[in-house]
Structure 1
Amino acid sequence: MKLGLDISGGDFAPRANVLGAILALDHLPDDVEIVLIGREEEITPILKEKGVDSNRLSIVNAPDIITMEDHPTRAIPQKPNSSISVGFELLAQKEIDSFASTGNTGAMLVGSIYKVNSIPGVIRPCITSVLPVFGGGDSIILDVGANADCKPDVLYQFASLGSIYAKSVMNIKNPRIGLLNIGEEEGKGNLLTQSAYKLMKNSEDFNFIGNIEGRDLFTGKADVVVCDGYTGNIVLKQAEGMYSITRKLGMKDKYLERFNYENYGGTPILGVNSDVIIGHGISNDVAVKGMLCLAHNVASSGLTKKIKEAFK
């Protein structure tokens, strides 16, 4: 298996990404190769500095960089030699099995849709985030930013995608799907959630348990929480903000530490024809290691193939 890694993306590139790849070697099976995609003249000195000369690391030179300021839609065609563009080309040609980046999220979404394409039948690909459950275990929430405006049928598909992910990667046999709303009753919410509820309540595609409220997010009431990307991104950023405050206050707690982004590394884009993983822009080497381990888990689970079969 070959895992592609964008070396030029993120706030601490290229060093954090190269060091993360080195760390990942000890956590991945011996038959996994990591393909470092970026400026070779920046990658090689770091490997030499660390005394790493492994046949499990290879380099594909990509001299250009898509920055966080670049417009996502224009960046891919205007910078064909960038690490993100080259990574997607390798993925499309099946020269790598997955592609991971902590770079421009918009460019990664655009590249996923236009370079490897959405799975037929999927209206809108989406991204997830982990919700640490108090008392142990994790739930996931989707979408968390790829789709700010959604229609009811899109939320229905998010539920299907989340259910497949929970079964395949999280090993939950019959994931409970909850719709994030302002009340538990069927008639609560805005037009979007009311209409989505009607579509989801009699579904045979997933195990829908009804509406859940914001106070239920970290209780494990649902294994998969469904919402539009606008709402999901607010939830995600609020959780990150609260974690930062606890750190500044010097609070140390096992549960609170589970909100540290380093523990999760990244998130897959669900609904595209290959395995694409997006990491946090502020990722350090530990987070990059986690992102690569997630990329391996997703690829090993056959997640994309299972989504394709479900959406035939």
Structure 2
Amino acid sequence: MKIAIDAMGGDFAPDEIVKGVEEARDRYEGLEFLLFGTEEKVKPLIQNMDRLTLVPTTEEIEMGEEPVKAMKEKPNSSMVQAATAVKNGEADAFFSAGNTGAILASAIFIVGRIRGVERPALATAFPSFGGKNDEFVFMDLGANAENKPSHLYQYGILGSFYAENIMGISNPRVRLLNNGGEEDKGDEVHKAVHQLMKDTDAFNFLGNVEAREIMEGTADVVVADGFSGNATLKAIEGTALTMLDQLKQSIKAAGLRGLLGALLLKPAFKSLKHKLDFQENGGAVVLGVKAPVVKTHGSAKAKAVANSMGQIERMVQENLVGKTADFIKENAEKMKVKKNAK
């Protein structure tokens, strides 16, 4: 199983990307890696070439560049070349920590969109602190700043399929992220989406959910437009990191008594940190394209990169893309919505 790696994408690339790939190489015996990047920057970082091939590139797509323009104007960039390797069958999956928009553009225009999917989206398994499951599917996380009702409706189908086939959740409960629980809440797009979801038998829709409630275990799939989903994700991540840091500072300020209490609660704190720290988990998956495409956090370190490799291995082994394409083909009518609802 070969994974094409954009070694130049991310805030700490290529150092942390290479470290993470080598950690994954030592952890997962069945994986091989194609590292695409600037040779003079990447090669000195590699400790061991076992199951690792360096493919030199001469261009980089920066975080602030316009996605489609950058993809077209930099054909020899590490990101474009890694995606092209997947298109040409030289690799089974594509990974990057770089420019989110450029990753999505590369996934759609190079790797290719599954027929029947209007707009691929970024999805991730997000921690849940209530209900019977420890995680839920959250999408879209920023692949699309603007969405039509039909896009969000399809996310309900794609998210349900991912929850059931990768996370093992039977008959997943779907909710729509909105600014209130009532079905008449939100802008015209969200009102229209709610009616589409309410009237479908394509998935198990239970209504709207507010951002403050999404981690309470009331849903197995939370559907959002890309702008709201990304803003919610970053707000939760920032709050979690701030609270963990403040808790640590409060314990230190409490002196010996606080430190003793912290020692007793260390297992509980460790478990909580594991659930809230994105470095401990994999990346976001671009659902709706013809091969596994995974994007991890721009500030990801080696641990997050290595964990993403394990996530990709599981996706390939489970044939997620093939099963998704078959499901969409078999349920073509359910994927469609009335034209006046778009």
Normalised by the shorter chain, which TM-score bucket?
Answer: over 0.9
The verdict on how the C-alpha distance between 1:234 and 1:57 changes in structure 2, with shifts beyond 3 A counting, is same
State the alpha-carbon separation in 1 of the partners of residues 49 and 71 from structure 2.
32
Q: Which residue of 1 aligns with 2:240?
A: 243
After TM superposition, the structure 1 = structure 2 runs for residues 115-130 of structure 1, keeping only pairs within 5 Å, are: 115-130=110-125
Unaligned runs of at least 5 residues, structure 1 = none
Q: How many residues align?
A: 307
1:112 equivalent to 2:129? Answer: no
Q: Which residue of 2 aligns with 1:289?
A: 306
Deviations 1:184-224 (A, max 9, x none): 33333332222212211232221212222223211111010
State the alpha-carbon separation in 2 of the partners of residues 57 and 186 from structure 1.
52
Q: Is the 8 A contact 1:176 1:222 kept in 2?
A: yes
State the alpha-carbon separation in 2 of the partners of residues 150 and 106 from structure 1.
15
State the alpha-carbon separation in 2 of the partners of residues 247 and 24 from structure 1.
28
Deviation at 1:232, TM superposition (A): 0.7
1:182 equivalent to 2:199? Answer: no
Q: Is the 8 A contact 1:181 1:211 kept in 2?
A: yes
The verdict on how the C-alpha distance between 1:185 and 1:70 changes in structure 2, with shifts beyond 3 A counting, is closer
Which amino acid in the other structure matches residue 150 of structure 2? D
Instruction: Classify the secondary structure of the residue corresponding to 2:27.
Output: coil
Q: Which residue of 1 aligns with 2:259?
A: none
Deviation at 1:250, TM superposition (A): 3.9
Q: Which residue of 1 aligns with 2:190?
A: 193
Q: TM-score, normalised by structure 1?
A: 0.92
The verdict on how the C-alpha distance between 1:187 and 1:78 changes in structure 2, with shifts beyond 3 A counting, is closer
Higher helix share: 2
1:305 equivalent to 2:322? Answer: yes
1:231 equivalent to 2:228? Answer: yes
After TM superposition, the structure 1 = structure 2 runs for residues 43-58 of structure 1, keeping only pairs within 5 Å, are: 43-47=42-46, 50=47, 52-54=48-50, 56-58=51-53
Q: Is the 8 A contact 1:139 1:224 kept in 2?
A: yes
1:81 equivalent to 2:81? Answer: no
Deviation at 1:76, TM superposition (A): 1.5
State the alpha-carbon separation in 2 of the partners of residues 183 and 266 from structure 1.
29
State the alpha-carbon separation in 1 of the partners of residues 64 and 182 from structure 2.
43
The partner residue of 2:285 within 248, 253, 268 is 268
State the alpha-carbon separation in 2 of the partners of residues 111 and 245 from structure 1.
34
Q: Which residue of 2 aligns with 1:68?
A: 63
Deviation at 1:257, TM superposition (A): 4.2
Q: Which residue of 2 aligns with 1:171?
A: 168
Q: Is the 8 A contact 2:124 2:285 kept in 1?
A: no
State the alpha-carbon separation in 1 of the partners of residues 141 and 227 from structure 2.
7
State the alpha-carbon separation in 2 of the partners of residues 182 and 89 from structure 1.
40
Deviation at 1:138, TM superposition (A): 0.6
Q: TM-score, normalised by structure 2?
A: 0.85
Overall identity of the aligned pairs, in %: 38
The partner residue of 2:156 within 151, 156, 159 is 159
Aligned structure 1 segments of 4 or more residues deviating by more than 6 angstroms: none
1:40 equivalent to 2:39? Answer: yes
Moved more, 165-174 or 223-232: 165-174
State the alpha-carbon separation in 2 of the partners of residues 223 and 164 from structure 1.
11
Deviation at 1:268, TM superposition (A): 1.0
Q: Is the 8 A contact 1:36 1:58 kept in 2?
A: yes
After TM superposition, the structure 1 = structure 2 runs for residues 114-153 of structure 1, keeping only pairs within 5 Å, are: 114-135=109-130, 137-153=134-150
Deviation at 1:183, TM superposition (A): 3.0
Deviation at 1:161, TM superposition (A): 0.9
State the alpha-carbon separation in 2 of the partners of residues 149 and 111 from structure 1.
18
Deviations 1:16-52 (A, max 9, x none): 1111011112332x232111111233333222xx3x2
State the alpha-carbon separation in 2 of the partners of residues 310 and 210 from structure 1.
24
Name which one, 1 or 2, has greater alpha-carbon Rg.
2
Instruction: Classify the secondary structure of the residue corresponding to 2:276.
Output: coil
Deviations 1:206-252 (A, max 9, x none): 12122222232111110100111111111101011102312431448
The partner residue of 2:203 within 202, 206, 213 is 206
